């Protein structure tokens, strides 16, 4: 298989502009769950630039559990992300939820996110393969590691090996956390595959106070990067506020990650 270690024994790197996933540096991506307004996106872009966070996240299309929750700004949101990239020099990762949004996302984003709920949307995976653009492939809510790697194989088989795998917590019997972060996925996937692996501690924790310890554990376990939800005012967030860090807490976390990375 194209994504397997047997096929490609060396670690592969995914380059996004000057950002390298799978190299010696742990790449931090951060930003709001959803794009909500110009003010929110620009405040986020400016802060990521100041902090040296090279990739900003933010969903313009949101796969919400309830149809009555905020569904995202769509193309207007993508345009705000692209404007933040121009102004602040941050690369953009944002989700495509279907074929209809994919070509818009491919036009504006640097990394196309495929969300947990779409991990086995095989037609979408084929289409994202054909774009050739870097892809952040999240692990499904109840997907095994083999299923997740097979989803990556769909993208690879359609011509795109620029795949970054993202563990974001899986569904278990535990209900205190939103999901259970599968830290084991890091060494296991690294043995099975050459692709870079990043961790999303935010959707695993579901609660902002638990994000920093999970992020540090991920770096200690060998993750190639992190994707963290952060918002200028989490209390007012339209999506995932309870798990979003405010900017001072994000700054504190990023500082502490350097120490963990140096220690291992
Ligand atoms: C997100 O990144 O905001 C998101 C919806 O994540 P997931 O697909 O992992 O639930
Ligand atoms: Mn979210």
When pLDDT is averaged across residues 207-214 and rounded to a whole number, the result is: 98
Indicate whether 9 belongs to any domain. no
Indicate whether 4 belongs to any domain. no
Residue with tokens 């996004």: 16
Indicate whether 7 belongs to any domain. no
Indicate whether 1 belongs to any domain. no
Indicate whether 249 belongs to any domain. yes
Measured CA distances, 250 to 5, 128, 188, 202 (Å): 34, 31, 28, 12
Percent of the chain with pLDDT over 90: 98
| 35 C-beta closer than 6 A to ligand 1 | no
The residue whose C-alpha atom lies closest to atom 4 belonging to ligand 1 is 115
**Residue 10: pLDDT over 90:** yes
**Residue 78: pLDDT over 90:** yes
pLDDT at 110: 98
When pLDDT is averaged across residues 131-142 and rounded to a whole number, the result is: 98
Question: Residue 212 in 3-state DSSP?
Answer: helix
Looking at every residue in the chain, the average pLDDT score rounds to 98
Indicate whether 8 belongs to any domain. no
50 pLDDT band, cuts 50/70/90, is very high
| 139 C-beta closer than 6 A to ligand 1 | no
List the structure tokens of 213. 């310890």
pLDDT at 25: 95
Indicate whether 157 belongs to any domain. yes
When pLDDT is averaged across residues 175-185 and rounded to a whole number, the result is: 98
Strands 135-138 and 111-114: parallel
When pLDDT is averaged across residues 190-196 and rounded to a whole number, the result is: 98
Calpha distance 171→161 (Å, rounded): 28
Calpha distance 220→239 (Å, rounded): 29
10 Å Cβ neighbour count for 257? 20
When pLDDT is averaged across residues 112-129 and rounded to a whole number, the result is: 98
Indicate whether 6 belongs to any domain. no
- Residue pair 56/84 in contact (Cβ under 8 Å)? The answer is yes
Distance from the alpha carbon of residue 92 to the mean position of ligand 2, in angstroms:
15
**Residue numbers of the domain that contains 202:** 14-18+26-63+71-263
pLDDT at 246: 99
Calpha distance 43→90 (Å, rounded): 12
**Residue 264: pLDDT over 90:** no
Core vs surface per residue 128-153: b (16+ CB within 10 A) or e: bbebebbbbbbbbeebebeebbbbbb
136 pLDDT band, cuts 50/70/90, is very high
For position 144, which CATH number holds?
A: 3.20.20.70
Number of domains in the chain: 1
């Amino acid at each position: 298989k194209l994504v397997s270690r047997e096929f490609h024994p060396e670690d592969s790197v995914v380059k996004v502009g000057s950002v390298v996933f799978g190299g010696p540096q742990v790449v931090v991506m951060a930003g709001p769950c959803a794009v909500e307004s110009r003010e929110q996106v620009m405040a986020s872009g400016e802060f990521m630039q100041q902090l040296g966070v090279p990739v900003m996240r933010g969903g313009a299309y949101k796969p919400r559990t309830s149809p009555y929750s905020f569904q995202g700004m769509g193309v207007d949101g993508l345009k705000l992300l692209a404007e933040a990239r121009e102004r602040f020099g941050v690369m953009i990762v944002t989700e495509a939820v279907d074929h209809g949004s994919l070509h818009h996302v491919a036009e504006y984003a640097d990394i196309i996110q495929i969300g947990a709920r779409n991990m086995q949307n095989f037609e979408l995976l084929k289409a994202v393969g054909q774009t050739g653009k870097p892809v952040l492939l999240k692990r499904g809510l109840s997907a095994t590691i083999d299923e997740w790697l097979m989803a990556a194989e769909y993208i690879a088989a359609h011509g795109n090996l620029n795949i970054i795998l993202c563990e974001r917590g899986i569904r278990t019997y535990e209900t205190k956390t939103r999901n259970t972060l599968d830290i084991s996925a890091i060494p296991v996937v690294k043995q099975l595959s050459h692709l870079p692996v990043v961790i999303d501690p935010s959707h695993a924790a579901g609660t902002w106070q638990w994000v920093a310890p999970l992020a540090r554990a991920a770096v200690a376990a060998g993750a190639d990067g992190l994707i963290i939800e952060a918002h200028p005012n989490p209390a007012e967030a339209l999506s995932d506020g309870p798990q979003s860090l405010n900017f001072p807490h994000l700054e504190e976390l990023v500082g502490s990650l350097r120490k963990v990375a140096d220690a291992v």
